[in-house]
Amino acid sequence: MLISSIPVIAVFMWFRFERFPFSMTRFSSALLAGAGSFFPALLLQNILAVEGGIFRVTGKWSLVGEIFVRIALTEELSRLLVLAVLFFAARRLSRAGQIDQNPGNASVSPAAMAGASGLIAGLGFAILESTVYGASNPGNALLRAFTAAPLHGACGFRVGSSIEIWRENHLQAVFRFLRAVVIHGVYNFMLLIPGILPPIAAILIALSALATSVVTIRSGMRGE
């Protein structure tokens, strides 16, 4: 678990160094929400099991269904539902005056705040997932910490921001959510292809998606 926590620690230090108006309460809530989303995702994956479940796909489409629907879609959908509940609760508490939705800087983009929460939630999901899978395959823990964690963080950013922009632009929100599913699915698909280049491509996909998330969050937090 310590190894899989490294990306979260790095993000926390980045937020503190940049002095983003992102409270410890918000950070902890997003992290716990992301970790909690692991369980409904696992439940959905068991329900939609390709063999013996209600989601039955055969032939050449079975692998596509397994990667993009049973894995990528269920994990992003689980993250979407848990974050939506978190954001709803935060708004209710903000209206009650118990928390400040946008402390210290009125120019901060709400989508950037939501995306930052999604990024942290994705890393929280990755901690629990890496811990579970790392227990069965310790040699894979380091690889997952530095590839799967950035992937989940990048996808979480897109899911979180899609929730925030839903009221303004339904189409753009759906597109952003589906983009998270596609990035997640392509990453998983590349890891299954034999050879050296496909895994390298998967790592580049995860890191590039994370890089765009970081740049967007930084710009939004600065009101740019």
pLDDT at residue 218 tops 90: yes
Q: Is the pLDDT of residue 105 over 80?
A: no
d(CA 11, CA 119): 9
Average pLDDT over residues 215-221: 94
The pLDDT assigned to 93 comes to 80
- Asked if 162 contacts 176 with a C-beta cutoff of 8 angstroms, the reply is yes
137-151 average pLDDT score: 69
For range 21-46, the mean pLDDT:
94
The CA–CA distances, whole Å, from 42 to 38, 72, 125 equal 6, 11, 11
- Taking each helix axis from N to C end, the angle separating 110-136 and 24-36, rounded to the nearest 10 degrees, works out to 50
2: pLDDT strictly greater than 80 = no
pLDDT band, residue 36 (cuts 50/70/90): very high
| pLDDT at residue 52, rounded to an integer | 52
CA 180 – CA 61 distance, rounded (Å): 21
**pLDDT interval class at 193 (50, 70, 90):** confident
What's the pLDDT at 184?
A: 96
Per the CB < 8 A criterion, the answer to whether 117 and 26 are in contact is yes
For range 99-125, the mean pLDDT: 82
**pTM (2 d.p.):** 0.88
In this prediction, residues 9-15 reach a mean pLDDT of: 95
Contact 155, 184 (CB under 8 A): yes
Buried b (16+ CB within 10 A) or exposed e, 168-185: eeeeebeebbebbbbbbb
Q: Is 32's pLDDT higher than 90? A: yes
- Looking at residue 24, what is its pLDDT? 93
Three-state DSSP class for 171? Answer: helix
User: What pLDDT score does 66 carry?
Assistant: 86
Q: Does residue 50 register a pLDDT over 60? A: no
Residue 102 near residue 220 (C-beta atoms within 8 A): no
User: Which tokens hold the place of 84?
Assistant: 């939506």
Whole-angstrom CA distances from 143 to 7, 45, 126, 137, 189 are 12, 23, 12, 11, 16
Percent of the chain with pLDDT over 70: 82
- pLDDT of the residue at 191: 85
Distance linking the first and last C-alpha atoms of the chain? 36
Q: 53-98: per-residue pLDDT in tens? A: 545 555 666 788 889 998 999 999 999 999 999 999 988 887 655 5
Please give the residue that has the higher pLDDT: either 191 or 180. 180
